[in-house]
Amino acid sequence: MGRENTDGREIRNFFLAIAAAHTRRGRYLKVTTFLISFISSLLIPMGVVAIYFLWKHGDKMMREEREDVSPVA
């Protein structure tokens, strides 16, 4: 009745080894995850700042641009 699932235990040990970076795949996974999270943590705030700047100053820049273009008559 109490049969043990050896395949399940092997799969569990495989994923634990990867998660603990005991294997080459685990190290690559952790480095990749770190780089993706680090880059996105820098890019998302910069995007928010850029959107705010364009929203705040965009109308002013467009008005100045229209005034600089003189009609050809």
pLDDT value, residue 5: 67
Length of the chain: 73
Q: 48 or 72: which carries more pLDDT confidence? A: 48
Structural domain spans, the chain: 6-68
- Average pLDDT on 22-44 reads 86
Six token digits for residue 41: 């943590």
- Count of CB atoms situated within 10 Å of the CB of 58: 11
The Cα 1–Cα 17 span in angstroms is: 29
pLDDT value, residue 57: 86
**Residue type at 24 in one-letter notation:** R
- Average pLDDT on 47-73 reads 80
